[in-house]
């Protein structure tokens, strides 16, 4: 089992120590597509999966979800979160065992979803359907310092149930694609957003896995280049043994394309000063 570079108390200490209002954006990769964004004293969680619910659900089936990386933090300990997003309804992006403890620990927490998923989300989380902020594609919401806009995603087909989110805060623009393959017009749609940081999946497509596919490592690096992202941070690997990718393939693809790619280890902090010299 991969041990996060920092977890539990160490992770919380790092997040707390980093919380200075200096105009920089900081983020932590929490495994799979989970990213914690910190800006100007506010905290946004994107697609957290911080439980073993899928391992339990698929035990003794022909698609066992064997964890590769230890859980980085108990969601009940994340009691400083302002906003959490869910890009689509698959459990690694909409996990009741993660989101219910988060909602309990953060009384003012705003949940941002694709509007098309409202009824499903409310049912899975056992919450009032009026609670989430639902966005149709192209719609945006302002939550503290974060402006969050929903953009299309194709997992593997375009549908209103699959979203990515473009997050603006201060001088920074972050794109969290959710689960998606590349679709026609995707780069033209994204390029005008002048994305600094693109968080993209790299696990690719493999029909024998019997799960919907994503960008692979080469496609993620290529999309990053084509949309003009200053850096691509890969995600969606090293969570389940049956559905992972080698980040070294991503590093090689970035090198070949002249695209910056920063690979994080689970629990590692990324700081926007990394882009100062670029
Ligand atoms: Zn996924």
Sheet containing strand 34-39, edge to edge, reads 133-135, 110-114, 83-86, 42-46, 34-39, 25-31, 269-271
Q: Find the 20 Cα to ligand 1 centroid distance in Å.
A: 32
Centre of ligand 1 to C-alpha 22, Å, is 33
Tell me the CA–centroid distance for residue 255 and ligand 1, in Å: 26
Residue 109 lies in a domain: yes
103: CA distance to ligand 1 center in Å? 21
Decide if 1 is inside a domain: no
Let me know if residue 128 belongs to a domain. Answer: yes
Does residue 91 fall inside a structural domain? yes
Query: With contact defined as beta carbons under 8 Å apart, do 186 and 198 qualify?
Result: no
- CA angle at residue 156 from 175 to 187, to 5 degrees? 40
pLDDT for 278: 59
For residue 33, the model assigns a pLDDT of 98
Give the CATH number, domain containing residue 173.
Answer: 3.60.15.10
Cβ-contact 88, 173 below 8 angstroms: no
Looking at residue 277, what is its pLDDT? 66
Are residues 220 and 163 in contact, defined by beta-carbon separation less than 8 angstroms? no
C-alpha–C-alpha distance, residues 85 and 219, integer Å = 24
Residue 10 CA to ligand 1 center (angstroms) comes to 26
What's the CA-to-centroid distance between 86 and ligand 1, angstroms? 11
Q: Report if residue 278 sits inside a domain.
A: no
Q: Which residues of the chain have pLDDT under 50?
A: none
State in Å: Cα 135 to ligand 1 middle.
20
Q: Give distance in angstroms: CA of 278 to centre of ligand 1.
A: 31
Q: Looking at the domain assignment, is residue 36 inside a domain?
A: yes
| Residue 213 Cα to ligand 1 middle (Å) | 8
CA of 171 to the centre of ligand 1 (A): 29
Q: Please tell me the distance between residue 277's alpha carbon and the centre of ligand 1 in angstroms.
A: 33
Q: Please say whether the dihedral angle defined by the alpha carbons of residues 209, 210, 215 and 219, taken in this order, is positive or negative.
A: positive
Residue at 116 is within a domain: yes
**How many domains are there within the chain?**
1
Host domain of residue 110: 8-271
Q: Considering the entire predicted model, what is its pTM? A: 0.97
- In a domain? residue 3: no
Report the separation in Å between the CA atom of 41 and the middle of ligand 1, taken as the mean of its atom positions.
28
At residue 105, the pLDDT reads 98
């Amino acid at each position: 089992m991969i041990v996060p570079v920092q977890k539990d108390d160490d992770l919380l200490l790092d997040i707390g120590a980093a919380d200075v209002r200096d105009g920089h954006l900081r983020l932590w990769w929490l495994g799979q597509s989970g990213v914690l964004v910190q800006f100007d004293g506010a905290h946004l969680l994107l697609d957290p999966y911080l439980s073993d619910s899928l391992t339990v659900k698929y035990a003794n089936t022909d698609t066992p979800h064997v964890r590769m990386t230890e859980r980085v933090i108990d969601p009940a300990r994340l009691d400083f979160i302002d906003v959490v997003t869910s890009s689509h309804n698959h459990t690694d992006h909409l996990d009741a065992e993660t989101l219910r403890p988060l909602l309990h620990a953060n009384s003012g927490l705003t949940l941002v979803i694709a509007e098309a998923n409202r009824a499903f989300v409310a049912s899975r989380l056992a919450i009032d359907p009026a609670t989430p902020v639902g966005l149709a594609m192209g719609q945006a919401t302002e939550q503290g310092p974060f402006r969050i806009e929903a953009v299309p995603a194709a997992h593997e087909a375009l549908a209103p149930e699959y979203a990515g989110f473009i997050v603006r805060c201060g001088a920074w623009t972050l794109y969290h694609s959710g689960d998606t393959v590349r679709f026609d017009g995707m780069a033209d749609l994204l390029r005008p957003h002048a994305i600094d940081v693109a968080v993209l999946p790299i696990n690719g497509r493999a029909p024998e896995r019997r799960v919907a596919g994503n960008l692979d490592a080469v496609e993620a690096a290529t999309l990053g280049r084509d949309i003009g992202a200053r850096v691509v941070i890969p995600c969606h690997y090293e969570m389940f043994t049956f559905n992972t990718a080698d980040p070294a393939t991503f590093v090689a693809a970035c090198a070949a394309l002249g695209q910056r790619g920063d690979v994080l280890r689970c629990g590692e902090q990324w700081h926007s000063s990394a882009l100062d010299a670029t």
